[in-house]
Amino acid sequence: MGLGFFERLFGSSRGPSKKMAKERLQLVLIHDRTDITPELMDALRRDLIEVITRYMDVDEKNIELGMDRDEKEGQIALEASIPVLRLKRGSQIKAKPQA
């Protein structure tokens, strides 16, 4: 056991820790700032489903929705996973509701 053991333990092999600090902060602040309550998330989910189901039938119970950091780009993203059952035919697509 020498100094090398401690170096490996505390991070020179894992790279500088400030990168992790910055990423964690950015993610945590997205939540803190927008104050995305569960109620808001539910409302967002319902609105999304309403729009999407105009174009396709989806498995509503298995939709996953969340904020995360995109591995490649490093950007914070709203990620949605929406299982599609079938696409509607052109004639079936309802017109947008009038504003």
Partner 1 sequence: MSARIIVITSGKGGVGKTTTTANVSMALARQGKKVVVVDGDIGLRNLDVILGLENRIVYNLVDVIEGTCSLKQALIRDKRVDGLYLLPAAQTRTKDCVTSDQMKTLCEELSPDFDFIILDSPAGIESGFRNASAGATEALVITTPDVSAVRDADRIIGMLESMGKSSINLVVNRLRPHMVQNGDMLSVEDVLDILSVKLIGIVPEDDSVVVSSNRGEPLTLSAESPAATAFSNIARRILGEEVTFLDVANMNKGGLLQGLMRLFKRS
Q: Give the residues lining the site for partner 1 (CB under 8 A).
A: 11, 15-19, 21-22, 24-26, 28-29, 32-33
Tell me if 87 sits within 8 A of 55, measured CB to CB: yes
Tell me whether residue 11 or residue 83 sits nearer to partner 1 (CB atom): 11
Amino acid at 76: I
Tell me whether residue 22 or residue 46 sits nearer to partner 1 (CB atom): 22
Write down the least CB distance from residue 2 to partner 1, Å. 20
Token pair of 49 as six digits: 């489903």
Write down the least CB distance from residue 73 to partner 1, Å. 16
Helices (H), 11-79: 18-34, 38-52
Tell me whether residue 29 or residue 41 sits nearer to partner 1 (CB atom): 29
Beta-sheet pairing, 84-87 with 56-58 = antiparallel
Write down the least CB distance from residue 11 to partner 1, Å. 8
What is the Cα–Cα distance from 60 to 84, expressed in whole angstroms? 9
